[in-house]
């Protein structure tokens, strides 16, 4: 059974991380979670070493910066989060590596963080720190390109959970997590699966029933997964490019959150399955990758 007893929110003090914190606050309020706000302070930039300054001066600069960051972190959403159990932590080092290490050591159940996506073009860019965390973290990661637009936590409502199933080894975990989340919020649950878009080339015969055969086989496998997860989700099956199909389905059903899978650490693509980046970039709602 999934759990959200501890939620980690990496904080860089941007509007995007504030929006992520709103989602984390809404989840923590529902599940009684401990909320951990983490800021990773990079070591003094290597450019300082090119300056003719003594080690004591460089150390003083770093100490001053660390003190300023502590003040910022202590005041970050202080009043808004006063009703929750909140821990504020500062670490030093490479941000992505420290986030993942902390999540593993603390047995965090969920990391909530934004991408670097914003505006008409920047939303197609996945931040390097988020990408590394998605690739390396063991726990689910809740992210999205629109998190900066999140309303205050009391206005966040999870009414429809959409699970994207590729029918690979991770699908049972995806459906279990999505079903559990939907039950916790008494939300609707739907499943989307994208079948390959198979078309005959010029001069070749293409059996139009083959697409129907693929869809029928997918329905059978989804039915088996639903029985295993004790879920009763509405099933949507569409042919085409998976990121596009999933994004359009999320838009169509007005999903509050999209749940997708990541591959195993030993898989050929590492932890992140081939379509996950594109799905996250195109999704109109937050994405929980499990």
- Give the Cα-Cα-Cα angle 248, 250, 256 (nearest 5 degrees): 160
Domain range annotation of the chain = 1-146, 157-290
The pLDDT value recorded for residue 63 is: 76
Rg (CA), the chain: 21
Do strands 287-289 and 141-143 pair parallel, antiparallel, or not at all (unpaired)?
antiparallel
At 118 the pLDDT is 44
Question: What homologous superfamily is domain 157-290 in, according to CATH?
Answer: HUPs (3.40.50.620)
pLDDT tens track for 165-180:
999 888 999 999 999 9
Of the candidates 86, 103, 97, 76, the one whose C-alpha atom is nearest the C-alpha of residue 11 is 76
Looking from the CA of 95 toward its CB, the CA atoms found within 13 Å total: 16
Question: pTM for the whole thing?
Answer: 0.87
Q: What is the pLDDT of residue 116?
A: 66
Q: What is the CATH number of domain 1-146?
A: 3.40.50.620
Q: What is the pLDDT of residues 114-144, one digit of tens each?
A: 986 444 434 444 568 898 999 999 999 999 9
Q: What CA–CA distance (Å, rounded) separates 60 from 51? A: 15
- Spatial separation of the C-alpha atoms in residues 246 and 254, rounded to whole Å: 12
Strands laid side by side in the 110-112 sheet: 85-92, 34-41, 6-10, 110-112, 141-143, 287-289, 257-260, 160-164, 188-195, 234-239
Common-topology check for domains 1-146 and 157-290: yes
46, two tokens:
């290597």
Which parts of the chain sit beneath pLDDT 70? 45-62, 116-127, 198-208, 263-274
| pLDDT at residue 55, as a whole number | 55
Pairwise CA distance, residues 33 & 174, whole Å:
21
Residue 155's CB is within 10 A of a number of other CB atoms, namely: 9
Smallest CA-to-CA distance from 162 within 220, 95, 238 is with 238
Q: Which residues contact 161 (CB under 8 A, 6 or more apart)?
A: 178, 179, 181, 182, 185, 187, 188, 189, 190, 255, 256, 257, 259
Whether the Cβ atoms of residue 144 and residue 114 lie closer than 8 Å to each other: yes
């Amino acid at each position: 059974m999934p759990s959200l007893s501890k939620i980690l929110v990496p904080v860089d003090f941007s509007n995007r991380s504030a929006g992520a914190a709103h989602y984390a606050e809404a989840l923590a309020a529902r599940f009684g979670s401990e909320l951990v706000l983490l800021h990773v302070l990079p070591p003094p930039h290597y450019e300082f070493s090119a300056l003719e300054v003594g080690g004591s001066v460089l150390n003083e600069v770093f100490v001053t910066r660390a003190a300023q960051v502590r003040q910022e972190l202590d005041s970050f959403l202080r009043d808004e989060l006063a009703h929750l159990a909140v821990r504020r932590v500062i670490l030093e080092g490479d941000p992505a590596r420290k986030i993942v290490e902390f999540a593993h050591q603390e047995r965090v159940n969920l990391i909530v963080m934004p991408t670097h996506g914003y505006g008409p073009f920047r939303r197609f860019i996945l931040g390097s720190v988020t990408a590394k965390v998605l690739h390396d973290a063991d726990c689910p990661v809740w992210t999205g390109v629109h998190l900066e637009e999140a309303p205050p936590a009391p206005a966040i409502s999870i009414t429809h959970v959409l699970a994207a199933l590729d029918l690979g080894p991770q699908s049972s975990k995806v459906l279990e997590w999505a079903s559990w989340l939907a039950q916790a919020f008494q939300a609707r649950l739907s499943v989307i699966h994208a079948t390959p878009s198979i078309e005959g080339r010029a001069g070749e015969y293409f059996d139009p029933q083959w697409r129907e055969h693929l869809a029928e086989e997918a329905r059978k496998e989804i039915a088996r997964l639903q029985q295993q997860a004790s879920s009763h989700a509405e099933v949507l099956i569409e042919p085409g490019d998976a990121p596009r199909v999933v994004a359009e389905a999320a838009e169509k059903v007005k999903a509050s959150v999209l749940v997708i899978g990541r591959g195993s650490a030993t898989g050929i693509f590492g932890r992140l399955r081939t379509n996950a980046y594109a799905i996250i970039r195109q999704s109109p709602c937050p994405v929980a990758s499990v």
